Amino acid sequence: MITAIIIMLSYLIGSIPSGLLIGKSFYKTDIREHGSGNLGATNTFRVLGVKAGIVVMIMDILKGTLATALPSLFGYFGLGMEWNIHILLIGLFAVVGHMFPIFAGFRGGKAVATSGGVMLYYDPIFFLILIAAFLISLYLSKYVSLSSIVAAVVAIIYSIFTMDPIFIIVVLLLAGFIIYRHRANIKRIRDKTEPKVKWL
């Protein structure tokens, strides 16, 4: 029962539409009506600027971190100490919530920041490796979408070397989400119509 509650909470945490909240609360703007129409940090950067983008990115990362930490938090308060589900799978539900948020008509982001947040809690060193891969790619290419895909590929390679079956499966799922949800960006990169970042 506690596990089911935690899974539901993880999905609901992931469903918090950070970009929509920041846009409407501070800029009187629904970012779904501008740019790519996406609720993630990248579209927030494009539509609302660097400051708003950074805030939304941090919020989206922390959604994954908080959701993955839920079993530990529940254990801390004495609400169940034995789990029959891996914490990475708990975090996975937050990413699903981010992509298909119940609070925003099931139209969400592309899973990058929230997936990173899951890894931040589970393996902070791995998270830093992914950040480094993303930033290096972004500096060289100026494409956020391509850098997200590069980080996803680095994640897959790293996971294989861990020899941890659950970790590998979850990373493959998260990387798959990220790559699939960037398929339109891949086409635009090929056609040379994908926007490049101007602030780096």
The reported pLDDT for the residue numbered 76 is 63
Is residue 111 a contact partner of residue 15, using CB atoms and an 8 Å limit? no
162: Cα separation from own chain's centroid? 22
Token pair 């602030």 is at which residue? 199
Largest CA distance in the chain: 55
Is residue 69 a contact partner of residue 77, using CB atoms and an 8 Å limit? no
Q: Which of 85-89, 153-157, 181-185 has the lowest mean pLDDT?
A: 85-89
| Residue 136, domain extent | 2-191
For the segment 12-17, the average pLDDT, to the nearest whole number, is: 98
> Per-residue pLDDT for 200 more than 60?
yes
> Per-residue pLDDT for 155 more than 70?
yes
The reported pLDDT for the residue numbered 83 is 58
Q: Which of 3-7, 56-60, 172-176 has the lowest mean pLDDT?
A: 3-7
> Per-residue pLDDT for 172 more than 70?
yes
Looking at the chain, the whole-number percentage of residues with pLDDT higher than 90 is 84
- Token couple for 117: 């947040």
Looking at the chain, the whole-number percentage of residues with pLDDT higher than 70 is 94
Residue 163 belongs to a domain: yes
Residue 12 belongs to a domain: yes
Q: How many structural domains comprise the chain?
A: 1
The reported pLDDT for the residue numbered 139 is 95
pTM more than 0.85:
yes
Residue 199 belongs to a domain: no
The reported pLDDT for the residue numbered 35 is 87
Residue 197 belongs to a domain: no
pLDDT higher at 84 or 150: 150
Residue 196 belongs to a domain: no
Residue 46 belongs to a domain: yes
> Per-residue pLDDT for 63 more than 70?
yes
pLDDT, averaged across the chain: 93
CA atoms of 53 and 23, how far apart (whole Å): 10
User: What does the chain look like in DSSP terms, one character per residue?
Assistant: -HHHHHHHHHHHHHT--HHHHHHHHHH---GGGSTT---SHHHHHHHH-HHHHHHHHHHHHHHHHHHHHHHHHHHHTTS----SS-HHHHHHHHHHHHHS-GGGTT----SHHHHHHHHHHH-HHHHHHHHHHHHHHHHHH--HHHHHHHHHHHHHHHHHHHT-HHHHHHHHHHHHHHHHHTHHHHHHHHHT-SPPPS--
